[in-house]
Amino acid sequence: MEHKIFSQMENDAKQIKSISTHTCSKLLEKKDLIVETVNTQMSRRPDIHRLIGYNPLQMMYDNHRNHFNLIIQVLKLQEIDILINMIPWVYRTYHIHGFDYDYFPIAFQHWIKAIEDHLESNMAQSVSNIYHFLIKWHPAIVELVETNRDIGLSFYGDLQKEHEQFLHYLLQGDYKNCLLYSEKIVKTPTDLAPFYLQVIQPALYRVGFLWQIREISVAVEHLSTAIIGRIMASLYTRFPLIDTKYGNAIISSAPNEFHEVGGRIVADLLEMEGWNVDFIGANVPPQELLEYVKKKRPFLVGLSVTMPYHIDSASQIISLLKNDPDLASTKIMVGGLAFFHKRNLWQKTGADGWAPHGLEAIRLANSWWHEVEFSNV
């Protein structure tokens, strides 16, 4: 049922004409005005507190800004599939936090009106088509969310039992048993990659999902993330680093991206493979990231992107890196959940390649290195 609705929406979306670069630019110029108009009109509604589940109005305002960023991303990339795959997640998250389903079509109508107020009519019409599409599919999206509780969470490998036991300890906040159990699984360096990809990564996804549906608190989510960080640090330092066989690599989350564990997994696995890796974490300002890369001149830069609305910031930093003559030979790899629903989406960032997980990142990085070695022979 889930895939049928997605397919139907994707087919219907083909009728929506692409938005010109000029229209995207004008829409972005009017961002603050449009968002403020929607905020003002929605907050004046007599039923607004019911619609937003008696949450603070600021929650709605923050959500509106995130929504606009997502729409801009979809329009710039001309990839409405991003929206189609994100919208059930958005509905579910808002609804679990108290928002009434009626909020969505009402808000979409206000977005249409605000866009019409601030853009020329021909531009407004082309953008509004997306909102008419969402209003049309609203009942089906609600049905999808109500009948598919675990949308997009089928991610397990051979270590599913181990994952479930680890997750049990993790949700109890039991660092000691998490560590002891991890040590039983990871006995040699070759055990590290399967543990990261089949135990740690799906545990993070599950914790995030449970927080999203309010089955765990923010405190438990933060504690779980912290425990995972401590586990990774403890396991990684148990094995001696091998001699450097490859070049220098810099791994970072994309600018404005606060999720960093995926990037850290790639950094650890590359270093275990023999790369010299600098992992610089999450939300590094674009200019500082650029300056650091220019200073180090690595063979490889890896950018992790979790949220689709951060693809644009990744694309911008990639463009800066690609246009710097001092970095002409630097290879750029992207990865992260943002690219999972549309496997060729990474190509629009300007990167040289995409890795769906840590082992593929190693394979791709090594292949690039050997290509250069072979060409220099």
pLDDT in tens, 295-342: 999 999 999 998 888 898 899 999 999 999 999 999 999 999 889 877
Answer whether residue 289 shows pLDDT above 60. yes
Question: In this structure, are residues 331 and 301 in contact, taking their beta carbons and an 8 Å threshold?
Answer: yes
Residue 153, pLDDT > 50, answer: no
CATH superfamily for domain 248-375 = Cobalamin-binding domain (3.40.50.280)
What is the fold of 2-147? Globin-like (1.10.490)
32 CB neighbour count, 10 Å cutoff: 11
Instruction: Reply yes or no on whether the pLDDT at 362 is more than 60.
Output: yes
Which residue carries 């670069």 as its tokens? 21
Name the CATH superfamily, with its identifier, for domain 160-236. Methionine synthase domain (1.10.1240.10)
pLDDT of res. 377: 56
pLDDT at residue 109 in the model: 98
Q: Examine the pLDDT at 154 and tell me if it is beyond 60.
A: no
Model confidence at 249: pLDDT above 50: yes
The DSSP result for 158-215, as a single string, is: TTHHHHHHHHHHHHTT-HHHHHHHHHHH--SGGGHHHHIIIIIHHHHHHHHHHHHTTS
| pLDDT above 70: residue 80 | yes
Arithmetic mean of pLDDT over the chain: 91
pTM of the model: 0.82
Q: Is 286 helix (H, G, I), strand (E, B) or coil?
A: helix
The string of pLDDT tens digits covering residues 1-55 is 456 888 899 899 988 888 999 999 999 999 999 999 999 999 999 999 999 999 9
Q: Domain coordinates of the chain in residue numbers?
A: 2-147, 160-236, 248-375
Across the range 140-167, mean pLDDT stands at: 78
Q: Supply the pLDDT for residue 157.
A: 65
